[in-house]
Structure 1
Amino acid sequence: MGVKLVFKIIKIRIEGLFDQSSHEFNLHLEGITILHAPNGFGKTTMLKLIDHIFNGRLFELKRIPFRKVDVFFSDQSRLEIIKERRSRNIVDETQVERISYEYHKVDGESQIFQPKLRLTKRYSITVLEELLPFLERVGPELWEHTETGEILDYHDVIKLYGTFLPLAPEYDWPDWLKTIRKKISVHFIGAHRLLQTSPLQSKNKRQNREKYQSAVRHFSNELVLSIQSKLAQWSAYSHEMDRTFPERLLSARKEQEKLSLSSKEQIEKKLKELEFKRARLARVGLIDQITEDQNFSIDNLDEFTCRLLSLYIEDTERKLKYFDDLEERLNLLLELVNKKFLNKELVIQRDQGFVIYVNNRKKKLEVDELSSGEQHILVMYYQLLFQTEPGEIVLLDEPELSLHIGWQGQFVEDLYDIMTLRKMTILIATHSPDIIDGRWNLTVALENP
């Protein structure tokens, strides 16, 4: 039986970006590809273009000036996204744009999808003002954000706050394109990482407003909810195992099968491994802290005692294994962040999330009192570890923002640790040579148009 090939992107070609430049690059086999160029070359726009294509944001595709994008896959098939301009009115020469998805298979067969370019729903001004009261109307279709002072037109409002509005039907994607989008999952992490927004709901809609919150605090609260959810699931699972323990013990005694742990040395080794595992779980707040080391003294075990301890160890291993994925990500987050913090320590507590200690735990610091560089590194690593799925393509824009030059030099090494755990592919846009840190074999230099 042949080896099943993984369906993935191997090369991307973009033509007519901003109507003036074209770029082509391969995704590196090591899993990290770095696009580098000075400001103004369209690095961020290229990442957004890829994000919009695979996440079906047709309205956003319309706003980006490009002519064609070719995506080459590992099975030698190709997805072509074409933007066409067509005259709509001969008199005033107005034009409309149409997006086409064309999939070209290895056998020569092609499939085409041409969605209608339109907003999924046109909201009335009354609805927008009722549901988004933090916007103050200053023109026919212009609003001012009451907290930031930013002026937004209708399209900006839909782009930024469309998720807060009533849902509209999605485009009717064909099955072949749904399959591609399912196989190629793309996650974009933008450069503006330190601020999160969410609407505060009130019984009186006129009192609804948007709440701005630092990303570190937002993710700290999110982590608390994730841990609590995991603990609730684990509790039900653990209680069920405890309920069936006597039955399984009696059954094992009757069956007289060969013991998996039959010697004192084997049992002591397993018990020590469990204590090490408990310590790692306690370090990230998933179980209570262990106050003192357990000293096991096991001598002259009879067969029933060996069977009892063997079943106990097996049960405990299964219970603790329930936390493996979460525990590994939390411990890696602590490791990567704390080796950069100076005179500060990140601790994770299940009821508080991120806790920052200063001067050997003599003082606590609020998470949003960290420096911008410290917040950036914590937020970025949290997003990579907790807001992505294994196998995704992660588009990471300007990771060097606010980072010390030494931290930039360690960044690619840190990414490899994260990639090993999460099995992701990463495409980076940067203008910092320090991020590259000598790994020029991973880079793609964008040429001047």
Structure 2
Amino acid sequence: MSDRFADQPDGTGEGQDVKATPVAEFGRLQNYSIFGLFGLYEHDFKVDILEPTMLTGANGTGKSTVLRTINWVSRGDWHSLIKTPFKRIILEFEKSRISVDKKSQHDLVVELRRPGYKTKVYNYSDSGEAHEPDFVRYARHYANMGFSREEVAELVLLERDETVQPWQLKHHGNEPGWISSISKSFPALLVSDQRLAPERRKRPKARGAGEAFDVVTAIEMAVHNINEEVQRYKSLYGTASQNLDRNFPRRVFTAMNSQRMFGSHRDISREFQELQDLRSSLAVTGLIDATEVEESISDLPLDNPDSLALISTYLDDTKEKLATFEPLRRRLDPFIEFLRRHYKGKDIRIDQEHGFRISSLRTGEDILPVHLSSGEQQMFVLAHKLLFGSVPGTLVMIDEPELSLHVLWQSSFVEDLTGISEVAGTYFILATHSPTLIAGRTDLRRSLDR
């Protein structure tokens, strides 16, 4: 193992702890090793950060378990990790290394090594058990609501988590800072084959007192989240517009009386056209109304210095207003483009009044998200998780992405993820059985059969 993670006398002192760290402080995961998995397997593979790494292997070799162990380390979910049969796990990052040793059935030792810091060690004990209530009534309740067996199982797990997690926090609230900040230092997202299972969101009770839970489909939740984001950014745009419009006249007169050089007629015309292209793009997406896209300014007296001062101030203001949409546009444009490529015969848009809309190009009628095919819903929920559910530097792990995906979608999936990673700043590990998904990319394949 490389000695770049060895202890170094940096003056931090033996007792100094790693403080709360920025996102992806550890850097990206470069290599994963697990020893004694199920008492049978040892796996070791490198992670590609530019294109998706694809884990292959026969059933039972531990593809899904590998993804889960990485996710549990990221979340600091030692309670789940300790239940998995293994001896040792090593995660090597660009700037650090984490090792997890299972000393006994109830004890883990987590070690962090970083250049310039003393080695940090955390001992986790899980000798107690959470009190878990009888969940049969939850299962019966959800079954009576019409959910499938798979959906009922997922919802019962949600109920279990709400009971077990507070117990974990109570019994393991003495974690050091570097342990509690792992999720920020190493963000990871696991997307499993249950990604279409129902989710829950809070809503006011019928009489307006307190809160209750609504059970909604995953795609309905995704649409709801997108609409909330759109409205939030429109509110920011409106606030920025009001603030700039309030003192626009004063700033125009200040510009007229300044010695600033505002550029030539040609420069102003080019800048205006670039702004119009941005407005048109935002209008196509649905973030602004199409009526905000103006016509040419070629008929205006741009050779006049006062006119140049006026137009330049207007252009600066408009850029600042539209810039409020940029964080959303960077995610929303590729999201909509992704869906348009895969949804044949359907129009995808943001409606100014109703939010996210899907309609038939043939009839013009709206299509409810829950009426999309299972494969179309999978693509929607997956793209939403990748573009809206992760921060830059996140390792996204997808378990059997080929489930419910058309074979043509599988053939372009690696290319799709590579494009998304460029936008979202994420990288990927896939666990797959699909030869179509692999499509000859043996350079990205990591076999667990060896």
What TM-score, normalized by structure 2, do the two folds share? Answer: 0.83
Counterpart position of 1:221 = 224
Task: Confirm whether residue 244 of structure 1 aligns to residue 247 of structure 2.
Answer: yes
Task: Confirm whether residue 11 of structure 1 aligns to residue 31 of structure 2.
Answer: yes
Counterpart position of 2:432 = 430
Letter in 2 for 1:287: I
Counterpart position of 1:90 = none
Decide which of 305, 308, 329 is 1:306's aligned counterpart: 308
Give 1:159 deviation, angstroms: 4.1
Higher strand share: 1
Give 1:402 deviation, angstroms: 1.1
CA distance in 1, matches of 2:99, 2:290: 55
Counterpart position of 1:406 = 408
Decide which of 57, 69, 72 is 1:37's aligned counterpart: 57
Decide which of 61, 70, 74 is 1:50's aligned counterpart: 70
Give 1:246 deviation, angstroms: 2.3
How many residue pairs are counted as aligned between the two chains?
A: 418
Counterpart position of 1:284 = 285
Letter in 1 for 2:81: L
2:32 match: secondary structure: strand
CA distance in 2, matches of 1:434, 1:208: 46
Decide which of 10, 23, 30 is 2:43's aligned counterpart: 23
Letter in 1 for 2:392: P
Percent sequence identity is 26
After superposition, the C-alpha distances for 1:40-69 in whole angstroms (9 at most, x for unaligned) are 322111111100111111221122222210
Decide which of 442, 445, 450 is 1:443's aligned counterpart: 445
Give 1:118 deviation, angstroms: 6.1
Letter in 2 for 1:113: Y
Task: Confirm whether residue 104 of structure 1 aligns to residue 113 of structure 2.
Answer: yes
CA distance in 1, matches of 2:304, 2:386: 50
Within-5 A mapping of 1:24-423: 24-75=44-95, 77-85=96-104, 96-105=105-114, 109-117=118-126, 122=131, 125=133, 134-135=138-139, 146-147=144-145, 148=147, 156=157, 159-162=160-163, 168-169=169-170, 171-178=173-180, 180-198=182-200, 202=205, 211-259=214-262, 262-290=263-291, 294-296=295-297, 297-299=299-301, 301-360=303-362, 362-423=364-425
Comparing 271-280 with 30-39, which one deviates more in the overlay? Answer: 30-39
Alpha-carbon spacing, 1:447–1:384, altered in 2? closer, same or farther (3 Å):
same
CA contact (8 A) 2:201 2:216 kept: no
Give 1:332 deviation, angstroms: 0.9
CA contact (8 A) 2:255 2:310 kept: no
CA contact (8 A) 1:282 1:289 kept: yes
CA contact (8 A) 1:81 1:101 kept: yes
CA distance in 2, matches of 1:321, 1:256: 27
Counterpart position of 2:5 = none
Letter in 1 for 2:347: E
2:53 match: secondary structure: strand
Letter in 2 for 1:321: A
Give 1:168 deviation, angstroms: 4.6
Comparing 290-299 with 8-17, which one deviates more in the overlay? Answer: 290-299
CA contact (8 A) 1:354 1:367 kept: no
Give 1:338 deviation, angstroms: 0.9
Counterpart position of 1:140 = none
Gaps of 5+ in 1: 86-95, 137-142
After superposition, the C-alpha distances for 1:349-406 in whole angstroms (9 at most, x for unaligned) are 3543432211345222111111111111111111111111111111122211111111
Alpha-carbon spacing, 1:109–1:439, altered in 2? closer, same or farther (3 Å):
same
Letter in 2 for 1:116: S
CA contact (8 A) 2:76 2:182 kept: no
CA distance in 2, matches of 1:436, 1:352: 39
Letter in 2 for 1:81: V
CA contact (8 A) 2:76 2:179 kept: no
CA distance in 2, matches of 1:133, 1:203: 23
Letter in 2 for 1:80: S
CA RMSD in angstroms comes to: 3.3
Letter in 2 for 1:427: I
CA contact (8 A) 1:220 1:352 kept: no
After superposition, the C-alpha distances for 1:401-431 in whole angstroms (9 at most, x for unaligned) are 1111111111111112111111112111111
CA distance in 1, matches of 2:380, 2:27: 32
CA contact (8 A) 1:34 1:428 kept: yes
Alpha-carbon spacing, 1:356–1:12, altered in 2? closer, same or farther (3 Å):
same
CA contact (8 A) 1:197 1:210 kept: no
Give 1:120 deviation, angstroms: 9.1
CA distance in 1, matches of 2:398, 2:249: 52
CA contact (8 A) 2:28 2:49 kept: no
Give 1:300 deviation, angstroms: 5.1
Give 1:8 deviation, angstroms: 2.8
CA contact (8 A) 1:268 1:298 kept: no
Give 1:133 deviation, angstroms: 6.7
Comparing 175-184 with 415-424, which one deviates more in the overlay? Answer: 175-184
CA distance in 1, matches of 2:109, 2:160: 22
CA distance in 1, matches of 2:255, 2:292: 33
Give 1:436 deviation, angstroms: 1.9
Letter in 2 for 1:380: L
1:224 match: secondary structure: helix
CA distance in 1, matches of 2:364, 2:128: 55
Give 1:162 deviation, angstroms: 4.1
Alpha-carbon spacing, 1:156–1:332, altered in 2? closer, same or farther (3 Å):
closer
CA contact (8 A) 1:59 1:118 kept: no
CA distance in 2, matches of 1:320, 1:78: 42
Give 1:29 deviation, angstroms: 4.2
Gaps of 5+ in 2: 1-24
1:99 match: secondary structure: strand
CA contact (8 A) 2:276 2:293 kept: no
Letter in 2 for 1:117: D
CA distance in 2, matches of 1:182, 1:292: 41
Letter in 2 for 1:239: Q
